[in-house]
Amino acid sequence: MSEFDIIIAGAGPAGSMAAISASKAGRKVCLLERKAEVGVPVRCGEGIGRRGLLDHIDPKPEWISNTIKKAVMVSPSGIRIELRGTSEDFILDREKMDSDLVKEAINSGVSYFAETPVTSVKKNGELYECITPKKTFSSRILILADGVESRLARFLGWDTTLALSDVETCAFARVVSPLIEKNACIFFTGTRVAPGGYAWVFPRAVGEANVGLGISGNNSEPGKAKQYLERFIESEFPGARISNLHCGGVPVARYIRPLVKDGAMLVGDAARQVNSLSGAGLAYSLYAGKLAGKTAADAINGNTVNYKHLKTYEKNWHKKFGKQQLRSYSLKKFVEKYGDDSFLDRIAQSLSKEDPSKLNYLKVFTRTFSGHPLLLIKAIKLFR
């Protein structure tokens, strides 16, 4: 049995950030990862907003494949709306970023164990025990960062079941084609392209992009997201070279509450800390991991390992992003109910008359509702 102050299960961005911040605050930290290599295969569009990245981390230049200042929305009937008034977005290299975060954790003193899946966890007196095929690890605080397929929280009594409508089934590929624009992230909507979701094209370099789509779990069955993706690529980028085609799920639910239980904490996708409308979870994971690691270390440093102290993680998360995340869930529900193809086309039609350099997300929102006052009333009811 190896004993630590804090154990983190899962070395994705949330887990590595938790390990780094807990170790930098002076604690004996262990990071357990089931895979041999983190970040591969990449199951991510790799898109992140400027602030989502720079507010939480000092990125290495090699983590950023592309910087983009333009977003294009394509409506179901093909109307293209350009948004140039938005801030910069980055397309990351997750393979490099995830593996560098683990290296940073190791350099800051974290004991890292790859190929060490945690098969179950239990509380034994004051300590948590993480059982792995190699040996049992124990600690006073346990942070669960085991991603969307998280099973570990259930051992501690959390209900992590996701309704079908709260999962996006995604298919994703790396695509090489001369038709790819390097300077714009493009989003395609419509039931023909991705029922209950959207398709995205995030360019990494000239002629190369991450192309993917998500369909609502309600509309999904085995292999369906992949079929939609192949059809989408064939229609937008005929003759393209396709590699790394993978599937994966994104939790688009409300974040799990409570996030903290008796010395255990949930972070990242395991906590459903994902924007329910866009499916983006990276910025939330980086922030939540860093915050949870620091809160856990402070609790041990101050000999206050109790619910009251650890709960400050949940309070601060809620203040910074949790409220926004819950709003994104309400907005997703609203779009599910009212955002059919003809509605999206009508909005696109009215926005197409705007000057693209002055168009931003706020304007899209106000235009949507100023043209449809009845919808605004329905939306207000949903958000109350």
Ligand X SMILES: Cc1cc2nc3c(=O)[nH]c(=O)nc-3n(C[C@H](O)[C@H](O)[C@H](O)COP(=O)(O)OP(=O)(O)OC[C@H]3O[C@@H](n4cnc5c(N)ncnc54)[C@H](O)[C@@H]3O)c2cc1C
Per 3-state DSSP, what percentage of the chain is helix, strand, and coil (rounded to 5)? 40, 25, 35
d(CA 47, CA 86): 14
Nearest approach, Cβ of residue 115 and ligand X (Å): 9
Q: Which is nearer to ligand X, 256 or 351 (CB)?
A: 256
Q: Which two tokens stand for residue 32?
A: 């357990």
**From the list 68, 142, 145, 296, which residue makes contact with ligand X (rule: CB under 6 A)?**
145
- Residue closest to 128 by CA, chosen among 105, 109, 156: 156
Neighbour tally for 330: CB within 10 Å = 17
- Residue 322 as a binder of ligand X (CB under 6 A): the answer is no
- Residue 323 identity: K
DSSP 264-327: EEE-GGGGT-S-TTT---HHHHHHHHHHHHHHHHHHHHTT--SHHHHHHHHHHHIIIIIHHHHH
Nearest approach, Cβ of residue 373 and ligand X (Å): 33
Number of residues that bind ligand X (CB under 6 A): 39
Show contacts with ligand X in window 38-57 (CB under 6 A): 38, 43-48
- Residue 217 as a binder of ligand X (CB under 6 A): the answer is no
d(CA 113, CA 228): 38
Three-state DSSP class for 173?
A: strand
Q: Which is nearer to ligand X, 259 or 351 (CB)?
A: 259
Q: Which is nearer to ligand X, 20 or 280 (CB)?
A: 280
- Residue closest to 267 by CA, chosen among 120, 128, 139, 143: 143
Q: Which is nearer to ligand X, 100 or 347 (CB)?
A: 100
Q: Which is nearer to ligand X, 270 or 310 (CB)?
A: 270
Show contacts with ligand X in window 261-300 (CB under 6 A): 268-270, 274, 279-282, 285
Show contacts with ligand X in window 167-186 (CB under 6 A): 170, 172
- Residue 203 as a binder of ligand X (CB under 6 A): the answer is no
d(CA 187, CA 183): 13
DSSP 61-94: GGGEEEEE-EEEEE-TT--EEEE-SS--EEEE-H
Q: Which is nearer to ligand X, 152 or 348 (CB)?
A: 152
Convert residues 233-252 into a mask of x (bound to ligand X by CB under 6 A) and - (unbound).
Answer: ---------------x-x--
- Residue 11 as a binder of ligand X (CB under 6 A): the answer is yes
Q: Which is nearer to ligand X, 13 or 85 (CB)?
A: 13
**From the list 4, 6, 8, 15, which residue makes contact with ligand X (rule: CB under 6 A)?**
15
Nearest approach, Cβ of residue 353 and ligand X (Å): 30
Phi, psi for 208 (deg, rounded to 5): -140, 135
First to last CA, the chain: 50
Q: Which is nearer to ligand X, 5 or 33 (CB)?
A: 33
Is-contact 228 192, C-beta < 8 A? no
- Residue 85 as a binder of ligand X (CB under 6 A): the answer is no
- Residue 146 as a binder of ligand X (CB under 6 A): the answer is yes
**From the list 6, 8, 14, 229, which residue makes contact with ligand X (rule: CB under 6 A)?**
14
Nearest approach, Cβ of residue 152 and ligand X (Å): 6
Q: Which is nearer to ligand X, 222 or 302 (CB)?
A: 222
Q: Which residues bind ligand X (CB under 6 A)?
A: 9-15, 32-35, 38, 43-48, 117-118, 145-148, 152, 170, 172, 212, 248, 250, 268-270, 274, 279-282, 285
